[in-house]
Structure 1
Amino acid sequence: MTDTLEYLTQSLLQRAKEAGADAADVLAVRGNSISIDVRNGVLEQAERSEATDIGLRVFVGKRVANVSSSDVRADSLAIMAERAVAMAREAPEDPYVGLADPAQLAENRKAEWLELYDPTPEPAPADLEQDARDAEAAALAVEGITQVSASSAGYGSQEVYLAASNGFSGGYQRTSRSTSCVAIAGSGTGMERDYDGDQRIFQADLRSPAEIGRTAAERTLERINPRKPKTGAYPVLFDERISSSLIGHLLMAINGAAIARRSSWALDLLGKEVLPQGLSLTEDPHRVRVGGSRPFDAEGLATQKRDIVKDGVLTGWTLDLATARKLGLESTANAARGTTGGPSPSVSNVTLSQGVKDRAALIADMGTGLVVTSMIGSTINPNTGDYSRGAAGFWVENGEVAYPVSGVTIAGNLIEMLKTIVPANDARPWLSRVVPSLLVEGLTLAGE
């Protein structure tokens, strides 16, 4: 069939070779999505999109160029290949670019075992609209909620295919199903809002719209009449909803692109303790029914489970082929890309060791401090790790939540912060980043 992604990618590879490319790879993505928004019980917006996008990367010696298009007609592919080769011939040489050696390529190129695709029929728009209505109604049924600013439901299906002149050819499918709700309480300057939502690969795994709407409402009401805490140094508990941002800063710092540029606060931390002893941070691209899973990376290398941090010690960088060559290392099979550009290093699923205490026990251990449930803005120095973010949440006194807080700034240094984290045991196992609530000692709070 001439409309399959395998046919399109192989056809474009052949066009690139005919145009004068020494090597090439092609990423094709075909997908459709539906998004429904409801407000005040009335359909506010309904969108559906269907598209096929294709990206071509060509090599002429050590020169490389990328082009992309959503026009996959035969004559357009020919023009695309010719333009890409012409661009590559004018590009500067890069000694680190190039495809993987055939011996490096993944042998298993199927993804059925990862359960990334739900064969359940695509939901009808009316069913999605009803889910959004149900979430809104559940939120509004909670006393004190004045309005719902957004209640949404969506579905997406995507097919991905990668082919390269080194012999790689493989692809897989993904689906996603989501529901979300944002509730509002209060009025004027006393207005507060919060949200809840869920996104899963399999529709049967999705939490009910009623639960999502009710949780959004309850979270909103908890935030009414916030105060500012006194300025000082206090322990801070990063709620599970936002705790993965701390680990995200570490993942950015150990990204091979930042290391190769020597613009990372983690530059000298390889083989050293970056988390408390006993904690590990593991990447596992093979977790079943998890959105970040994949059988191979964007350069055709087999993905694999690895310990990024083991027993508190940083074991390595996150690398694609180019950054690995720059650093004289081997790729960790972490290449990611879209159709509009070339590969770059990126992690997939990560899991941080969980603790033995639940969130309530860590709050009790705090004595006096702050529980952060949302953050606004960010000032992170990529070279030093100096950290400053606006936050909102709840003030804790004598080990118990006393009142809501907003308009506070948290400051510290990521190198020191990460070394003191104490994890709870409340991480959601179906997320791509499984990170529990994290207690951090001695951060500076700027309040009143």
Structure 2
Amino acid sequence: MKLADKFTLWFLGIILLVTPISMFTTLSNIRSRIDNSEIERLKAVNNEVAEQLRDGIAPDKYSQGRPIIILKIDKALPKSEVQVEKQRCDGATALNECRITVSSYYSINETNYQVSSYNYVTQSAHILKGMLFTAILKTMIIALIVLLTVRWVSKKILSPFNQTLNSIQKFNIKKKQPLALAETNTKEFQALNQFLKKMADKAVIEYGLVKEFSENASHELQTPLAVLRSKLELLTETDIQVNQASLIADMQNAIEKLSRINHSLLLLTKLENQEFEATSEINFTNYVQELLAIYEDRIAIKELTLTSNIDEQVYVKINPTLADMLFDNLLSNAIRHNVRNGTIHLRLNKRGIVISNTGPFPVFPTEELFQRFKKSNQCNNSVGLGLSIVKRICELNNFKVTYIYEDNLHILKVIFSEDQSIGEDKEEKEGYTDNQIVTI
């Protein structure tokens, strides 16, 4: 929900809550004022009659046609010289207080008098109906004005915020350019822009430092590794004993492994820095077929059986370099962690890719496979970064990657689209057609 819609609902909620309360308060005040005004008027009428009695004037002329009653009383006057009685109209509801009687007591020429007058006031129900109509009309007018103007007002007020949000979305740390934000006279937006500029400048500087460090570290490590590799090659050409040859072979393996670790960590750093952008869709089928041809020898050496089900013209929006890395790591992982005379099943379509292979049961929880330097104990040559690279590539391209071990198969699934899934029925796992089975 947009911010303007939230403001609208909040404002309308306040109107709907306050209007009944204000109506009740106003109605009570109006009723009270009408009653008090009429009471004061009736008091004045009683006083006028009492003055006529004091002056010896017969009050008949004044009281004629008026609801006035004059009574002589023999008992003592009550403590309260004025008594007010409110009576309801016959058949009226509790809200319709319509008759007010005011009784005043006087002592005139040693004679006690009770002068009473009454009148009918406007019924509360009539007042309420008029107020209710006015309140409903006012609420509808306010709500209509709010609905028609809130978006324009919010757009005007929140224009600096929207410009800032747009600038942040377009900001690219790799361009090493400062974040440009629109000027505003709103203090809160000024504070926000200052903070964002400060953080963006800091991020650009730190990105440059990390990138420079990773590149320098990779370059500096490659040089001594190359020297060690060449020296060991020269050493192997000299007369050496059998035990020395074994040590040299171990050293060469360690150097090659260190070189692969250095390359993988550098690649992960580039992935974290998002240096690979997907500008258009590529034919993923071509990359899969090319890599399968390259890995034929490795598959043959391990005497593996490859079954494939590859759709033609599978287009995916991904950087070409990352596409090559993604399938390369998936396939090499399936070969490396397989067993001799094992099998590899491959399926590719527009929804995603599934690659499964035979292999021992995993020795640690499967959710840890995508962590760095996690590897099975059956493969000591692995550096433990292949699936970490796969996961990071999938995250950058909004793919979903999952791993399960089922029916003695390690199954890795990469879904290109979240709203679709790659179903693997029994036929897809075990029953590829004969022309799809490649035994090497």
- State TM-score, norm by structure 1: 0.22
1 or 2 for the larger relative contact order (CA 8 Å, sep ≥6)?
1
- State TM-score, norm by structure 2: 0.22
Higher share in strand: 1
